[in-house]
Amino acid sequence: MTKLTPFTMPKWGIEMAEGTIADWMVAENAPFERGTVLTLVETDKITNEIEAEKDGRFVRILAEAGQTYPVGALLAVLSDGGEASAADIDAVIAAFRPSESGFGPEGEDAPPHKPTPEPAAAAAVSAPPVPEGLSISPAALAEAQRLGVDLGTVSGSGRGGRIFAQDVHQAARPAVNPQLVGVFAATPDSAVLSTPVARRLGALHGLDLATVKGTGARGKVRRDDVLAIVQQSAPVEVPAPAAAATPATAPASSPRPSGDNVDVLPMSSMRRTIARRLTEAKQQIPHFYVRRRVRADRLLALRASLGPDRPSVNDFIVRAAALALMEVPAVNVQVHGNEIHRFGAADIAVAVATEKGLVTPIVFAADDMTVAEIGATMKSLAQRARSGKLKPEEFTGGSFSLSNLGGFGVEQFDAIINPPQGAILAVGTARPEPIDDDGAIRIVPVLHLSLSCDHRAIDGADGGRFMAALANLIENPHLL
């Protein structure tokens, strides 16, 4: 007998609440072997490959590529390799109940995978006939007969419009007219399954939401659905022709409608997390900045003497920052509420730009590593960060951060602290500038450094001492 099991959204790390199905790597009912990559799941930081633990096949895939689902949500039904009847598959889906820990923050775009509350028991009613050829699960059919729901009016949320029990429960609910808070009063659109923002936009533009095809779960009308119709129906202003227009007075061209050549892209799970964390950081952390110019000619000369496989300038700065943190441990901290956690090792998170956003893999115990070891470690971390294959423990934590935009020609900038860390170092490009060299004026490459500090845990004197120690190490690179 074929064994069927639910295939659910995994949980990687205690902070993961949801994941996005980046792509399915196997097709429905296509057999696969152990070790085959089944799907790519994108979280707030990485894209992980889920491999098959044993031979099998997906007898039904429920989750759509590009959609976000909470941890524990049912993504597909997995068999041990054999085929299964539709009734058996429907039974597994109907019996599935995700754990409470699998649900992230609820919002407008939260996937509808919470178990639907059972409606109150109703008196026996005569059920309307079932339309011929209707795709419906056994559980949904039983609920429709119990509640007397006309299945011809139910919109299925499953693959190919298949009707599930939750669709029947939704159709059985009495129509409600929630009162909107704000400048717009409730309208007939309130009865349409839609988000509050969509209803407000519909009222603003005089749009009947019943005519809008919703792209959300169970046909829910969302903000973008309304905006798409509003933009399509926006009038194009065409100037009236002049009676005797001359080349000097004729308009050069007709005005273009608003919104032309604008791509509206939804934020990825990673980008939403970056936005949330950095907004919280700027709102909750009292930043102050310590800036310093540091001569880099000696460090560049030392690096040039090391041959073609030499470490990068950034590897030297990571090493210098690690040693400076050991000299000034007051900067090597995390802030947790009313507690300051001071670290005995320099675990430095280094910002790496990827196509999907900023990732900060960590060089652990960088103070105990040589520059060459730091370089090899960073090369491996950066490659896996850009391919989305970092493990959660490789980018979670850290006692200090470093962001270097010198490779983009940026001369100087201030970075936002990555909580719960207490500080971050921003590094610009080295550019020729005049300096005082034992009473002589010389023009040498100079780095502009900026240290962002959390004033709740780090004082200005601590930041100054750290920058002094860092400058001494960079200007005397033999100490590295």
CATH of the domain at 347: 3.30.559.10
Please, what is the average pLDDT of the chain?
81
Alpha helices in 58-164 (DSSP H): 86-95, 138-147
Contact 144, 125 (CB under 8 A): no
**In the predicted model, is pLDDT for residue 143 greater than 90?**
no
Residues 321 and 464 in one domain: yes
CB-based burial, 168-207: b 16+ in 10 Å, e otherwise: bbbbbeeeeeeebeeeeeebebbebbbbeebbbbbbeeeb
**In the predicted model, is pLDDT for residue 237 greater than 50?**
no
- What is the pLDDT, as a whole number, of residue 471? 97
Does the residue 296 lie in any domain? yes
- What is the pLDDT, as a whole number, of residue 368? 95
Nearest alpha-carbon partner for 110 in 312, 272, 252: 272
Domains: count for the chain: 4
Task: Label residue 244 by pLDDT band (50, 70, 90).
Answer: very low
Residues 163 and 210 in one domain: no
CATH number of 221's domain: 4.10.320.10
Residues 15 and 162 in one domain: no
CA distance linking residue 268 with residue 429, whole number of Å:
30
- State the CB neighbour count (10 A cutoff) for residue 54: 11
Residues 336 and 454 in one domain: yes
Q: Which of 13-17, 188-192, 305-309 has the lowest mean pLDDT?
A: 188-192
Does the residue 430 lie in any domain? yes
- What is the pLDDT, as a whole number, of residue 178? 53
Q: Answer with the residue of higher pLDDT: 35 or 379.
A: 379
Percent of the chain with pLDDT over 90: 36
Residues 222 and 97 in one domain: no
Task: Label residue 350 by pLDDT band (50, 70, 90).
Answer: very high
- What is the pLDDT, as a whole number, of residue 147? 84
Report the SS3 class of residue 103: coil
Percent of the chain with pLDDT over 70: 82
Q: Which of 178-182, 304-308, 339-343, 360-364 has the lowest mean pLDDT?
A: 178-182
Structural domain boundaries, residue 47: 4-102
- State the CB neighbour count (10 A cutoff) for residue 30: 9
Q: Answer with the residue of higher pLDDT: 276 or 113.
A: 276
CA distance linking residue 467 with residue 480, whole number of Å:
16
Q: What is the pLDDT of residues 86-111, one digit of tens each?
A: 888 888 898 888 764 433 333 333 34
- What is the pLDDT, as a whole number, of residue 199? 81
- What is the pLDDT, as a whole number, of residue 13? 66
Q: Answer with the residue of higher pLDDT: 323 or 41.
A: 323
CA distance linking residue 46 with residue 357, whole number of Å:
10
Burial of 307 (0-12, 13-18, 19+ CB in 10 A): exposed
* 16-30 mean pLDDT: 85
Angle at 354 between CA 349 and CA 355, to 5 degrees: 160
**In the predicted model, is pLDDT for residue 363 greater than 70?**
yes
- What is the pLDDT, as a whole number, of residue 470? 97
Residues 330 and 464 in one domain: yes
- What is the pLDDT, as a whole number, of residue 219? 79
- What is the pLDDT, as a whole number, of residue 128? 67
Q: What is the pLDDT of residues 334-343, one digit of tens each?
A: 999 899 999 9
Nearest alpha-carbon partner for 458 in 395, 403, 400: 400
Q: What is the pLDDT of residues 281-311, one digit of tens each?
A: 999 999 999 999 999 999 999 999 998 889 9
Task: Label residue 191 by pLDDT band (50, 70, 90).
Answer: low
- What is the pLDDT, as a whole number, of residue 206? 79
* 398-426 mean pLDDT: 94
Please report, in angstroms and rounded to a whole number, the separation of the first and last CA atoms in the chain: 65
Q: Which of 196-205, 250-259, 362-371 has the lowest mean pLDDT?
A: 250-259
Does the residue 273 lie in any domain? yes
Does the residue 112 lie in any domain? no
- What is the pLDDT, as a whole number, of residue 325? 97
Task: Label residue 127 by pLDDT band (50, 70, 90).
Answer: low
Residues 194 and 154 in one domain: no
Contact 74, 8 (CB under 8 A): yes
* 47-56 mean pLDDT: 84
CATH number of 32's domain: 2.40.50.100
Residues 336 and 422 in one domain: yes
Asked which of 172, 198, 222 is the last residue of a domain, the reply is 172
- What is the pLDDT, as a whole number, of residue 41? 84
CA distance linking residue 76 with residue 65, whole number of Å:
12
- What is the pLDDT, as a whole number, of residue 445? 95
Q: What is the pLDDT of residues 439-461, one digit of tens each?
A: 899 999 999 999 999 999 999 99
Residues 168 and 192 in one domain: no
CATH number of 146's domain: 4.10.320
Q: Answer with the residue of higher pLDDT: 4 or 325.
A: 325
CA distance linking residue 15 with residue 412, whole number of Å:
33
Residues labelled catalytic: 455
Does the residue 375 lie in any domain? yes
Does the residue 125 lie in any domain? no
Q: Is the pTM of this model over 0.85?
A: no
- What is the pLDDT, as a whole number, of residue 242? 43
Task: Label residue 142 by pLDDT band (50, 70, 90).
Answer: confident
**In the predicted model, is pLDDT for residue 122 greater than 70?**
no
Does the residue 305 lie in any domain? yes
* 386-404 mean pLDDT: 88
- What is the pLDDT, as a whole number, of residue 153? 82
Does the residue 108 lie in any domain? no
Residues 206 and 162 in one domain: no
Q: Answer with the residue of higher pLDDT: 182 or 141.
A: 141
CA distance linking residue 7 with residue 80, whole number of Å:
12
- The 3 state secondary structure assigned to 149-181 is CCHHHCCCCCHHHCECHHHHHHHHCCCCCCCCC
Residues 164 and 204 in one domain: no
DSSP string spanning 380-447?
Answer: HHHHHHHTT---GGGTS--SEEEEE-GGGT-----PPP-TTBSEEEEE---EEEEEEETTEEEEEEEE
Residues 219 and 356 in one domain: no
- What is the pLDDT, as a whole number, of residue 365? 95
